[in-house]
Amino acid sequence: MTGTYEGAISDLSNLAAAAGIRPGLERILALLELLGNPHKRGPRFIHVTGSNGKGSVSAMMASVCQAAGYRTGFFSSPHLKEYTERLRLDGREISRDDFVALMETIWPLIPRVERTAGRPTEFELLTAAAFLYFAERQADVVVLEVGLGGKWDSTNVAENPLLSIIVNISLEHQQYLGDTLEAIAGEKAGIIKAGCPVLTAERNPQILKLFADTAAQKGSAFFSVYGECGWSLLDDGMEGQSFRLRTPAGEYEDLRIPLLGAHQAANAAAVVYGAEILRESSVRIDEASLREGLMKVRWPGRLEVLSRAPFVLLDGAHNPGAAETLREWLAAKRSGFPKVYLVTGLLDDKDQAGWAALMDPWVDRVVVTRPGSYRASKWREFARYFRSEDGRVRVVEEPREALRTALEEASEADLVLLAGSLYLAAEFRDYFGAI
């Protein structure tokens, strides 16, 4: 690879297209062995999976750990604009120079891994880079967001996590994880480690039992957010929200988060309860740090306000579970807008029909566009799942042109909702100069 950031990104993109998605741990383990097993030295891990909300929970958990004074790493995916977003230390993205240095260390090892375990994927290289970076920078705690599933995700080589969090389960990535909620839950339950506590924000009784049984089999303490906590919204505005929370350890009045959507209060409840569980280990997060961390969290691309006249809202709701959460927010706020314009696009492997069925009744106009991924070759077909009478649905390939199409028609009082694939988020955020 060339010794530039642009060259590293080009090489990673080519690898992504060639290697695709291949669950399994043999390649990441072989790569980490060649790197001196950085995942076994230094930081302790908080491991987070789930179908929806795992990014928000991870971001909030990293923020409260940092507020408590811990040197905190955060590995997340996907990125919105730059690969450097995926590796953060104390809230700051890795520098381009440091990113290139990591790739220059890891890239020459690919042929050796390929000979014994097969060609590593893009995500496996990035996971190895994260373990190496956080070990070298002597992070105290690292929040690891699972990329896909759990059991065979490359982050699952993390040993003896301080806490495993499974946010919730919905149908997603069926070609990799299975066709039923139970099968998908089984894959995600794979992050539960022997003797390590596990917390879930799942509500389905059958899935809860599956998680509890898995934890019991492994001798792991099991905690349920919905079973053991209660919360109520105090204020749900367009700048964020506040809520009251009760946990087994006590009550919290007027907790505040700068994130929209009632589901984020549930995610925040999981983080607070998780912080209480962590107090049984070496990580101590007091109430003041909890409040500060929740207030300071940033998680772009999730019900993010980009403009106010018209009101432009960006949300990376890319599966039916996330679309259901977005639909609930829209149902609660719909009366405040004369018309709702939806600009959207989904990858080929998403449930396009299910997603459209949830959103279609709540919007007046739809513009379907193309996400910037090789996995969006059938992007035009998404349009057929929306009601198309009277020219209601338009197809515009270039995302910025699709956005302009909606903005030119919308009045200042309308809502322009940019939702679907996170691969569209960077284009839309750039248009409004979001940073």
Domains of the chain, residue spans: 5-296, 304-431
Residues 224-230: what's their mean pLDDT?
A: 97
- Determine the Cα–Cα distance for residues 344 and 327; give it in Å rounded to an integer: 14
Q: How far out from the chain centre does Cα 239 lie?
A: 21
Residue 201 CA to residue 264 CA, distance in Å, equals 12
Mean pLDDT value across residues 328-349: 92
Equal CATH topology for 5-296 and 304-431: no
Higher-pLDDT residue of 308, 237: 308
Confidence tier at 1 by pLDDT (50, 70, 90): low
Per-residue DSSP letter, 377:
T
pLDDT of residue 2: 62
- Model confidence at 392, pLDDT cuts 50, 70, 90, reads very high
pTM over 0.85: yes
* Distance between CA atoms of residues 428 and 400, nearest Å: 7
Query: Is 5-296 a domain of CATH 3.40.1190.10?
Result: yes
Residue whose pair of structure tokens reads 């399994």 in the numeric block: 24
- Cβ atoms 233, 227 nearer than 8 A: no
- Residues 299 and 261: their CA atoms lie apart, in Å, by 13
Q: Average pLDDT of 36-40?
A: 97
Question: What's the pLDDT band for 80 if we cut at 50, 70, 90?
Answer: confident
CB of 104 closer than 8 Å to CB of 3? yes
373 confidence band (pLDDT: 50, 70, 90): confident
Mean pLDDT, to the nearest integer, of 394-417?
A: 96
Summarize the confidence of residues 410-426 as an average pLDDT.
Answer: 93
Beta strands 222-224 and 198-200, pairing class:
parallel
Top-tier CATH class for 304-431: alpha beta
pLDDT of residue 394: 96
DSSP string for 191-209: G--TT--EEE----HHHHH
Quote the CA–CA distance of 246 and 251 in Å, as a whole number.
Answer: 4
8 Å CB contact between 405 and 431: no
pLDDT tens-digit series, residues 231-283? 999 988 888 899 999 999 999 999 999 999 888 999 999 999 999 999 988 89
Residue 389 has pLDDT above 90, yes or no: no
Selected residue with higher pLDDT from 362 and 435:
362
Would you say 28 and 157 are in contact if contact means Cβ atoms under 8 Å apart? yes
pLDDT digits (tens, 9 = 90+) for 117-146: 999 999 999 999 999 999 999 999 999 999
Query: Helix or strand or coil: residue 265?
Result: helix
Give how far the C-alpha of residue 298 lies from the chain's centroid of Cα atoms, to the nearest Å.
Answer: 13
Q: Which has more pLDDT, 325 or 272?
A: 272
Confidence of residue 374 (pLDDT cuts 50, 70, 90): confident
- Encode pLDDT of 284-305 as tens digits: 999 999 999 999 999 898 889 9
pLDDT tops 90 at residue 435: no
> Distance between the two ends of the chain, CA-based, in angstroms?
29
Q: Under a CB-based contact definition with an 8 Å cutoff, are residues 252 and 287 in contact?
A: yes
Round to whole Å and give the CA distance between 173 and 181: 11
Closest alpha carbon to 275 in 46, 77, 90, 56: 46
Cα 185 to Cα 39, 229, 284, 331, 395: the distances in Å are: 25, 22, 30, 28, 36
